[in-house]
Every structure is written in C-alpha cells, then in structure tokens.
C-alpha cells in the first residue's frame, strides 16, 4: 500500500472550464465588476491581456501579500489557454477565484496571522485539499521552500500547490488504474517533470 496519494476524482480547484474569449468587448459577462475594474487598471496598454509582471502588480494592489514573479508566471501558465504567456479578463477572473480559494485555506492554518505556516500546518492544509502525503514528504516540500526557517509563506504555498497539482495531473494521466504507482522510463520521467514544472 503506497504511503501517499493524490486527491481522487475531485473537481479541479479554482477554475470553471476553458474560456477562450479575449479582449474587453463582452469579456466581462459574468465577471464581478470589481474584477473588471481591477483588470483594466493593470492592463496599461489596453491589449485585453496581462503578463506576469502586470499580474504581480494586480495582486500587490489587492488585499494579498506580494507574490514573486515565479508564482505569477506559474499562475498565468495554469490559466493561459492559448499559451501566449498572458491571460485575458476571463482567465484573470478564474485566477482570482483560484488565489482566493488557496488564500482562504492558507489563512485557516495561519492562525496567528504571522504570514507563515509550519510543517504541521502545511500537512493539515494539504490533507484538507485531498492529498495524502507522508510526514517525510511534507518535510521535504517545506525544506525546498524554506530550508532555514521551515516556515511557508503564502507565495510559496501557492507555488508548491501549483507544482503539486501539475505533477499530480501528469501522474494521474499515467495511473489509469488509480493505484498510486506507475512504471515509466527515465526519459518519460524527465519529460513528465519538465512538462509539469514549466
């Protein structure tokens, strides 16, 4: 019996299907007017798309703590349906929901509002999201993001969850029997890792 596991058959968190509509005309249908205003305020060239730097600015202008450019690039890659390196207003709305959901989970475990969660809190948060990971793996994960303090910021929490999600989806695509174990060649593994983390 494997030690860890991924969430089984749960709907993907934070987005409601693929949207391809771009630009301002009609793109705001069904989107909170505050999100529309927020998007337009950071889309300085009025292109109807924002890149990772503009997203970083948008999130800093919101109620969240600052996000690294790495986190912003990863978030854009999750919602960038045309692989342009940018997101449109619809995709921004979906990303906004995603960030809100993960922030809510994070804050639930950051009870002292320090802006950090420890290893045990990280484990509990991941468990709440459906991951069954060994204490050794959670310790490894925390050490990757914060080797000295062993504390995870919201930025690192979101980056780790995006990476976990991407790797899990890639793993699940090869685990057709849902056993939690796959057999792959070295090159398949390398391809899986590069595809999932970029």
pLDDT in tens, 52-84: 988 888 887 555 667 888 899 999 999 998 889
Which of 86, 109, 132 is the last residue in one of the domains?
A: 109
Q: Distance between CA atoms of 154 and 110, rounded to whole angstroms?
A: 9
Query: Does 67 share its domain with 147?
Result: no
Neighbour tally for 196: CB within 10 Å: 17
CA dist 49 to 20, 139, 145, 157, Å? 12, 38, 30, 26
pLDDT in tens, 82-110: 889 999 999 999 998 888 898 899 999 99
Which of 109, 132, 158 is the last residue in one of the domains?
A: 109
pLDDT in tens, 19-55: 333 344 444 567 888 888 889 988 988 899 999 988 8
106 and 128 Cβ atoms separated by less than 8 Å = no
Residue 161 is part of a domain; what is its CATH number?
A: 1.10.238.10
Q: Distance between CA atoms of 157 and 30, rounded to whole angstroms?
A: 29
Residue holding tokens 């983390």? Answer: 197
| 144 is a domain residue | yes
Residue holding tokens 């990757």? Answer: 144
Residue holding tokens 């703590």? Answer: 65
| 4 is a domain residue | no
Query: Does 176 share its domain with 100?
Result: no
| 118 is a domain residue | yes
Read off the pLDDT of each residue in 172-188 and give the average, rounded to a whole number: 88
Average pLDDT, the chain: 81
16 and 94 Cβ atoms separated by less than 8 Å = yes
Instruction: Please state the domain count of the chain.
Output: 2
Residue 9: pLDDT band (50, 70, 90) is very low
Residue 4: pLDDT band (50, 70, 90) is low
DSSP 153: -
Query: Does 137 share its domain with 70?
Result: no
Query: Does 90 share its domain with 119?
Result: no
CA dist 81 to 34, 94, 134, 190, Å? 23, 12, 33, 24
Percentage of the chain modeled with pLDDT above 70:
81
| 6 is a domain residue | no
Query: Does 21 share its domain with 101?
Result: yes
Query: Does 91 share its domain with 150?
Result: no
Domain of 76 in residue numbering reads as: 14-109
| 184 is a domain residue | yes
| 7 is a domain residue | no
| 182 is a domain residue | yes
């Amino acid at each position: 019996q494997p030690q860890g596991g991924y969430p089984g058959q749960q709907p993907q968190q934070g987005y409601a299907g693929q949207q391809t509509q771009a630009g301002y005309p009609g793109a705001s249908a069904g989107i909170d007017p505050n999100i529309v205003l927020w998007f337009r305020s950071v889309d300085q060239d009025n292109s109807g798309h924002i890149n990772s730097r503009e997203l970083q600015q948008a999130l800093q202008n919101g109620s969240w703590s600052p996000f690294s450019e790495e986190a912003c690039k990863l978030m854009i890659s999750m919602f960038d349906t045309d692989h342009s390196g940018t997101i449109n207003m619809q995709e921004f709305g979906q990303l906004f929901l995603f960030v809100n959901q993960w922030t809510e989970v994070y804050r639930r475990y950051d009870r002292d509002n320090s802006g950090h969660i420890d290893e045990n809190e990280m484990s509990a948060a991941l468990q709440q999201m459906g991951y069954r990971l060994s204490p050794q793996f959670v310790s490894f994960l925390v050490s990757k993001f914060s080797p000295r303090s062993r504390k995870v910021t919201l930025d690192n929490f979101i980056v780790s969850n995006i990476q976990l999600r991407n790797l899990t989806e890639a793993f699940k695509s090869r685990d057709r029997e849902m056993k939690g174990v796959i057999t792959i060649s070295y090159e398949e593994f390398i391809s899986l890792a590069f595809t999932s983390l970029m």
